[in-house]
Structure 1
Amino acid sequence: MRTENNSNPSRRITHSHPDTTQTRFTLMSVEANQIKARYNILAGLFAWITCAGFITLPNTFTSLQNSSTLAANPGGRAIQQTIKNLSLLPLAGAFCLLGLAGTCFLWRTHQTNYIWLISHLFLPGLSHSFICLLSIALNIISIQGGHLSITANIAIITVTLLCGAMLCLTVIYYWLLSKIIATHNKENC
């Protein structure tokens, strides 16, 4: 006999065998592994879209603006002039907003599965934002000669805020998960 009670926060499932009672942690673990592949793909996609907004476009175009190879011929100078006049900040901002909006959607969709949130949203977001911070710092030092442009300042502030938010969310959800694990351990001892 199998009974299921979704209104109970501990969400126990009892099977006909007395040894197969599952705690909230067990259910969360199983659900984390059974979440549809599209959500896992979307989590990765939104993380990379956010990362593209912070790092890929600004770094690529900054290096093109400073390329001596392009400056050596008229066509290359025309490309550099076009890139210099083209404001990439709105495009990078759109990528960031799209990635963060997607991440928030997935967070809301799977808000009760701490394991999935930590492993698919918060830790990747933390590592990507930290890597983006390092890349921005290297860009400023190596390509921009240590000069902090307005775009670099905006990127540093935004990525630092995201990194801090992902760190806080990771700590909070690890704490919530540790409480569930402690309950699980008490019930199974």
Structure 2
Amino acid sequence: MDPNIPVAPALQSNRISHNIFVTRYVRMVVESDQIPWKHNVLASAAHWVLLAGYLVIPGTFTSLQKSDSLNGTLGSSEAGEVILKTIQNPPLLAMACVLFLLGSMAMGWLFWKYRDNYIWLLNRLFLPTLLNALAGLLTTFINIYTAHHGDWSIMALLTVIASGLSVASSSGLVIIYKFRKLEKVKQEHWQATSVRNRGL
């Protein structure tokens, strides 16, 4: 048996003594169930805040170019054309940036606090972030090709890039933690338990 794997003290259950064999995997499972509910709520709130940011940003896409009256008024001067190409919806853009910042800060703190519990990170941070990023990317494409008739403004392009990077990074984290880090911990668990069972 691996000397680095701790064995918990004997527990009395129905007057029968059991040696509980604790591996890193078992510890992660138990710890993920014992994480304070307020941190689980904070993780869920952070995802909703990020999702809200994804849903708000498409509202900042400019559609002024579609307005004939504004095109006639602003398009007659060089300064007007610059305004026509750059005006967005500043309050919505500011709100989306604040939501992204708040959600990212909360998730960064939770990641640092529970960085050794791969199960909790996957279930509470990485997978929900991936799903929300995909929802944001899909919403952006729908907005571009329906409300804005395929008009790729600068904001639309930046939003697609930001959402795509979120999808790519969260997908990478899911792959690394699910299929590498957690899989290694599981293999250690099964090897240790099989060695222990053969020794009994």
Instruction: Measure the CA separation in 2 of the matches of 1:89 and 1:59.
Output: 9
Runs of 4+ in structure 1 deviating by more than 6 angstroms, as ranges, are: none
**1:109 is aligned to 2:103:** no
The SS at the match of 1:168 is: helix
Q: Give the match for residue 57 of structure 2.
A: 58
**Residue 59 (structure 1) shift:** 4.0
The letter for the 2-side match of 1:37 is W
Q: Give the match for residue 9 of structure 2.
A: 15
Identity of paired residues, percent?
A: 29
Residues 1:85 and 1:181: Cα distance change in structure 2 (over 3 Å):
closer
Deviation sequence 1:64-100 (CA, Å, 0-9, x none): 99xxxxxxxxxxxxxxxxxx76412222112111111
Q: Give the match for residue 179 of structure 1.
A: 184
**Residue 60 (structure 1) shift:** 5.1
Structure 2, unaligned stretches of length 5 or more? 11-16, 65-86, 195-200
The SS at the match of 2:148 is: coil
The letter for the 2-side match of 1:15 is P
Give the structure-1-normalised TM-score.
0.78
Residues 1:157 and 1:85: Cα distance change in structure 2 (over 3 Å):
closer
> In terms of Rg, which structure is larger?
2
**Residue 11 (structure 1) shift:** 6.0
Contact 1:89 1:151 in 2 (8 A): no
Contact 2:60 2:93 in 1 (8 A): no
**Residue 48 (structure 1) shift:** 1.1
Number of equivalent positions: 161
**Residue 30 (structure 1) shift:** 0.5
Instruction: Measure the CA separation in 1 of the matches of 2:149 and 2:33.
Output: 47
More RCO (CA 8 Å, sep 6+): 2
Q: Give the match for residue 77 of structure 2.
A: none
Structure 1, unaligned stretches of length 5 or more? 1-9, 66-83
**Aligned equivalent of 2:150, options 146, 149, 171:** 146
Contact 2:57 2:159 in 1 (8 A): no
Q: Which moved more, 1:142-151 or 1:10-19?
A: 10-19
The SS at the match of 2:151 is: coil
The letter for the 2-side match of 1:123 is L
The SS at the match of 2:22 is: coil
- Please report the RMSD computed on the Cα atoms of aligned residues, expressed in angstroms: 2.2
**Residue 53 (structure 1) shift:** 1.1
